[in-house]
């Protein structure tokens, strides 16, 4: 089985970390292909960054489809472009926020999310409602660390995230905590051991869900909302990405 993990930002160091987290939970015989686009934002911190991450994300998905991957993961906690990826792909595509919330709901009575910056809070709150998880989600918190600080060993980002996890458990009544950024993927096991409660990394959770769905032979439905895009021309710089155009041919 081959699972494609796409980090929608362009920071290769984060992609390597994400790939390691996925491989640490993948079953023997499952190949993890972790990639990031060549073009786009170096980190995704808000709606504007998210919008410009999606074209590169779709290009990587198209390459994965052409290579015959069995499932795919969108490795950003905002789950950017998830619906578009599902329209493009026939195989299961899992978002890491979606996966983390479902994993928490199956193992704890409630959860809080600890993300990077305050500007990410409304996005994650919206996703909790979209996934029907508002009943379980106690609060979305921000450790007030930029995403790229998680890549800097000299920063205090990991300590600040841990402090916010402790507050979530003490103040929110949360029974589990979700790490609200793919750049935190390497910290989940350490934090779980330190706080004595489940600290869930969405990359690992999404990898296992993707593996399970592919193993069950469940494909993305092409009836209704995730039907393949209708062929039509696109204008300007997006002309090569038009349905039926170069991107679609690359996916064939």
Mean pLDDT across the stretch 129-152?
95
- CATH code of domain 97-202: 3.40.50.12500
Query: In whole angstroms, what is the distance from residue 38 CA to residue 17 CA?
Result: 17
pLDDT band for position 162 (cuts 50, 70, 90): very high
Mean pLDDT across the stretch 89-93?
97
Pinpoint the residues of the chain covered by CATH 3.40.50.12500.
Answer: 2-95+205-251, 97-202
Is the predicted pLDDT of residue 252 greater than 90, yes or no? no
Instruction: Spell out the residues 6+ positions from residue 34 whose beta carbon is closer than 8 angstroms to its own.
Output: 5, 7, 15, 16, 18, 19, 22, 75
Question: And the tokens for 151?
Answer: 């890549």
Return the CATH architecture of domain 2-95+205-251.
Answer: 3-Layer(aba) Sandwich (3.40)
Query: In whole angstroms, what is the distance from residue 210 CA to residue 181 CA?
Result: 19
Per cent of the chain over pLDDT 70 is 97
Mean pLDDT across the stretch 153-178?
96
Is the predicted pLDDT of residue 246 greater than 90, yes or no? no
Phi, psi of 125 (to 5 degrees): -60, -40
Q: Kindly report the three-state secondary structure assignment for every residue of the chain.
A: CEEEEECCCCCHHHHHHHHHHHHHHCCCCCEEEEECCCCCCCCCCCHHHHHHHHHHHHHHHHHHHHCCCCEEEECCCCCCCHHHHHHHCCCCEEEHHHHHHHHHHHHCCCEEEEECCHHHHHHHHHHHHHCCCCCCEEEEEECCCCHHHHHCCCCCHHHHHHHHHHHHHHHCCCCEEEECCHHHHHHHHHHHHHHCCCEEEHHHHHHHHHHHHHHCCCCCCCCCCCCCCCCCCCCHHHHHHCCCCHHHHHHC
pLDDT band for position 250 (cuts 50, 70, 90): low
Give the pLDDT score at 144.
95
Q: Structure pTM?
A: 0.94
Q: What is the CA radius of gyration of the chain?
A: 18
Strand partners of residue 178: 113, 200
Task: Evaluate whether 245 touches 59 at the Cβ level (below 8 Å).
Answer: no
């Amino acid at each position: 089985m081959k699972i494609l993990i796409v980090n929608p930002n362009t920071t290769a160091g984060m992609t390597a970390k994400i790939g390691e987290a996925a491989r640490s939970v993948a079953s023997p015989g499952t190949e993890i292909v972790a990639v990031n686009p060549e073009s786009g934002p170096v980190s995704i911190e808000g709606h504007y960054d998210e919008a410009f991450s999606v074209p590169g994300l779709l290009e990587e998905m198209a390459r994965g489809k052409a290579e015959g991957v069995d499932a795919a993961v969108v490795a950003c906690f905002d789950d950017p472009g998830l619906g578009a990826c599902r329209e493009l792909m026939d195989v299961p595509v899992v978002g890491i926020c979606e996966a983390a919330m479902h994993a928490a709901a199956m193992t704890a009575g409630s959860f809080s999310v600890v993300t990077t910056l305050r500007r990410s809070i409304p996005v994650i709150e919206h996703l909790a409602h979209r996934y029907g998880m508002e009943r379980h989600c106690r609060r979305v918190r921000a450790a007030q660390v930029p995403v790229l600080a998680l890549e800097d060993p000299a920063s205090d980002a990991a300590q600040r995230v841990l402090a916010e996890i402790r507050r979530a458990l003490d103040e929110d009544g949360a029974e589990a905590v979700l790490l609200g950024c793919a750049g935190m993927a390497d910290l989940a096991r350490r934090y779980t051991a330190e706080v004595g409660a489940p600290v869930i990394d969405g990359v690992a959770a999404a990898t296992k869900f993707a593996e399970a769905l592919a193993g069950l032979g469940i494909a993305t439905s092409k009836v209704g909302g995730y039907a393949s895009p209708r062929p039509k021309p696109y204008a300007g710089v997006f002309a090569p990405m038009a349905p039926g155009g170069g991107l679609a041919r690359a996916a064939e």
